């Protein structure tokens, strides 16, 4: 599996036009970089409370299905990542007041990448049940997308074609 290439100028790239430049990567890599999908999906992504999370995950999943129908694996994969990110961010806010998990700023050369990058992890707070429910909603949609047979077929075909 190719690694996600953070050196590409994603603000200028249209990966719908150039899917060969996309690397599946791990987890949520590239979710806030890859265009035009970031611009299409970010406005739909919300997790403030269960009602908002339900609407958001439904809208993102509908877009996921549209991408699959258009045989646009990169778009479907990015929508799946937004659902995953809805889960992980909701869990973070459920576990840490204000959603802040680490102490200190992210170094500029590490923005958009996962991990603590030498920062100290803050202690967990008391679980926020509202954010925890939002996380459950996103997790169910994320798993539904991840396990979708057409998504699996397109992922395999994409990896065979582009590595």
Q: Is residue 3 part of a domain?
A: no
Q: Is residue 52 part of a domain?
A: yes
| C-alpha dist (Å) from residue 133 to 51, 55, 140 | 10, 13, 11
Task: State the Cα–Cα distance between residues 151 and 144, nearest whole angstrom.
Answer: 10
pLDDT above 90 covers a percentage of the chain that reads 72
Q: Is residue 6 part of a domain?
A: no
Q: Is residue 104 part of a domain?
A: no
| C-alpha dist (Å) from residue 7 to 66, 77, 110, 147 | 29, 20, 12, 30
- pLDDT above 60: residue 110: no
Residue 66 lies in domain: 19-97+125-162
Task: State the Cα–Cα distance between residues 45 and 133, nearest whole angstrom.
Answer: 16
Task: State the Cα–Cα distance between residues 138 and 160, nearest whole angstrom.
Answer: 29
Cβ proximity of 62 and 141 under 8 Å: no
Q: Is residue 14 part of a domain?
A: no
Averaged over 85-104, what is the pLDDT?
84
Other CB atoms within a 10 A radius of the CB of residue 21 amount to: 15
Number of domains in the chain: 1
- Give 31-79 pLDDT, tens digit per residue: 999 999 999 999 999 999 999 999 999 999 999 999 999 999 999 999 9
Cβ proximity of 33 and 140 under 8 Å: no
Q: Is residue 7 part of a domain?
A: no
Q: Is residue 10 part of a domain?
A: no
Q: What is the pTM of this model?
A: 0.86
pLDDT above 70 covers a percentage of the chain that reads 87
Confidence of residue 108 (pLDDT cuts 50, 70, 90): low
């Amino acid at each position: 599996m190719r690694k996600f290439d953070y050196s590409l100028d994603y603000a200028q790239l249209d990966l719908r036009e150039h899917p060969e430049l996309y690397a599946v990567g791990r987890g949520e890599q590239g979710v806030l970089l890859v265009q035009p999908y970031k611009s299409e999906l970010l406005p739909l992504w919300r997790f403030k409370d269960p009602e908002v999370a339900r609407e958001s995950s439904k809208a993102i999943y509908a877009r996921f299905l549209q991408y699959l129908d258009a045989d646009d694996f990169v778009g479907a994969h990015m929508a799946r990542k937004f659902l995953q990110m809805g889960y992980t961010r909701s869990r973070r806010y459920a576990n840490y007041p204000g959603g802040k998990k680490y102490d200190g700023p992210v170094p500029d050369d590490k923005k958009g990448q996962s991990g603590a990058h030498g920062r100290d992890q803050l202690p967990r707070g008391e679980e926020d049940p509202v954010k925890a429910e939002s996380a459950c909603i996103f997790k169910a949609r994320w798993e539904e997308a991840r396990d979708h047979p057409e998504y699996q077929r397109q992922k395999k075909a994409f990896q065979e074609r582009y590595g």
